[in-house]
Structure 1
């Protein structure tokens, strides 16, 4: 049996079609449409970033609901409150300390079941 020759563009189109199909099957809830838009943007991307008000809202909620002491939001808030005196000149030492302190913060982790399977 001979193999069918497929152009690169045909192969890319078929792979993205399959990607969109499985994304529809595996995504549901308020973000399912966004997944499709992200895939289309990824396929047609010419260096443009993808943005969505709904994803921005979801990320904002995730950040604000992250109650860990070492979360990025809590670390920034506590570092600013503890180490910035708005009535004094900002020193280089303070700047270095604040930069290191914030860099040590934990980024968001998608380890809960809901974010992992897009369940809402």
Structure 2
């Protein structure tokens, strides 16, 4: 598919890798994340990565997803509106499985929107590996409710053989260089786990 050059090529591969990354990070507050993550991959020997901008991007994604069919936030809101016991000011324990089904039937937060192709989030995260959603609290008071929901997400910043075998990756020199830097032991760029978290509020009233 492509040729691996000797170890001295790292001197030219690494700057080119950074330069090409800017094609996917053109504008917005997250555009510098990819260079920070490249540096982490180069120097931090595979340790997990966290950044407040990733948390901000996750929260923005959750709050801006207005798809009633797919949004975890909107589907949870619908479940609260449907099943809250207003007389006893609680969410019935017998209906807890409805919340699980709501999440399973939703599209979990990802960065695969059109704008993510150029704002830096598609290249740094795109899809995700694991999502943990926790309802921290639910307060029902008079004719209003307020739920606090916590999202914890992990992604893998790296390319495997299946990834690089796909045309959407191997057509770009950026991904071919990424694969070489990560895989060839003379270069020592280590893939790592990316950790993100966000807490949102869902509110509503008695209909």
Which structure features the higher share of strand residues? 2
Cα offset for 1:40?
1.5
Q: Kindly indicate whether the alpha-carbon contact (under 8 Å) linking 1:63 and 1:108 is maintained by their aligned counterparts in 2.
A: yes
Q: Kindly indicate whether the alpha-carbon contact (under 8 Å) linking 2:72 and 2:106 is maintained by their aligned counterparts in 1.
A: yes
Q: Kindly indicate whether the alpha-carbon contact (under 8 Å) linking 1:20 and 1:39 is maintained by their aligned counterparts in 2.
A: yes
Alpha-carbon distance between aligned partners in 2 of 1:69 and 1:25, rounded to the nearest angstrom: 32
Tell me the residue number matched to 2:48. Answer: 49
Q: Kindly indicate whether the alpha-carbon contact (under 8 Å) linking 2:75 and 2:102 is maintained by their aligned counterparts in 1.
A: yes
Task: State TM-score, norm by structure 1.
Answer: 0.67
Cα offset for 1:108?
3.8
Alpha-carbon distance between aligned partners in 1 of 2:113 and 2:22, rounded to the nearest angstrom: 22
Q: Kindly indicate whether the alpha-carbon contact (under 8 Å) linking 1:16 and 1:43 is maintained by their aligned counterparts in 2.
A: no
Residue segments in structure 2 that go unaligned for 5+ positions in a row:
121-207
Q: CA offsets per residue over residues 5-61 of structure 1, 9 Å max, x none?
A: 724xx5667544432221135423332321100111223344432222223222212
Q: What SS is found at the alignment partner of 2:32?
A: helix
Q: Cα RMSD (Å) of the superposition?
A: 3.0
Tell me the residue number matched to 1:32. Answer: 31
Does the C-alpha gap of structure 1 residues 87 and 25 become closer, same or farther in structure 2, counting only changes over 3 Å?
Answer: closer
Tell me the residue number matched to 2:65. Answer: 66
Residue segments in structure 1 that go unaligned for 5+ positions in a row:
none
Which structure features the higher share of helix residues? 1
Alpha-carbon distance between aligned partners in 2 of 1:96 and 1:90, rounded to the nearest angstrom: 10
Tell me the residue number matched to 1:97. Answer: 98
What is the aligned residue count?
A: 111
Cα offset for 1:74?
0.8
Cα offset for 1:72?
1.2
Q: Kindly indicate whether the alpha-carbon contact (under 8 Å) linking 1:83 and 1:98 is maintained by their aligned counterparts in 2.
A: no
Look at both structures and tell me which one has the larger radius of gyration over its CA atoms: 1
